Amino acid sequence: MAPIKPRVSVEYVGGATVLTFSDEKILEERDIQELQESLMSVVEQGEKLNLVLDFRNVQFLSSAVLGLLIRVSKKIYERDGELRLCNISSRIYEVFKITRLTKIFEIYPDVESAIESLPGE
């Protein structure tokens, strides 16, 4: 059996939790399920979470990931938290534009500007 590689890395910067996706491609149902478990375990750690999702390594993702991001967003806002996305490739950003998700998510060019946009940062 192949070893399970980490799907995300988590770093704490000031009052923000920065979650960086490790995989270049997030396409398979199993990968998305593992990603959901990782994301939800971070989101459910507490109230008022300031979460930054860093897509620097991601080049391809399935539409199921977009649905997962919407669920994560809803869960964070229910807990009075904030969510920012950053380092999204131009190809993936086009998908966000076409699906109008740029109206739902705050997207920044890099981790630093995403963190600076958070309340209290």
Structural domains of the chain, ranges and CATH numbers in brackets? 8-116 (3.30.750.24)
Largest CA distance in the chain: 46
* CA atoms of 93 and 91, how far apart (whole Å): 5
Instruction: Please give the structure tokens belonging to residue 68.
Output: 């997962």
pLDDT for the residue 47: 87
Q: What is the pLDDT of residue 121?
A: 58
Ranges assigned E (strand) in 27-66: 50-54, 60-61
Please give the model's pTM, rounded to 2 decimal places: 0.92
Checking DSSP bridges between strand 25-26 and strand 8-13, what pairing results, if any?
unpaired
Residues of the chain scoring pLDDT < 50:
1-4
Tokens of 19: 């979650």
* Predicted local distance difference test score (pLDDT) of residue 6: 57
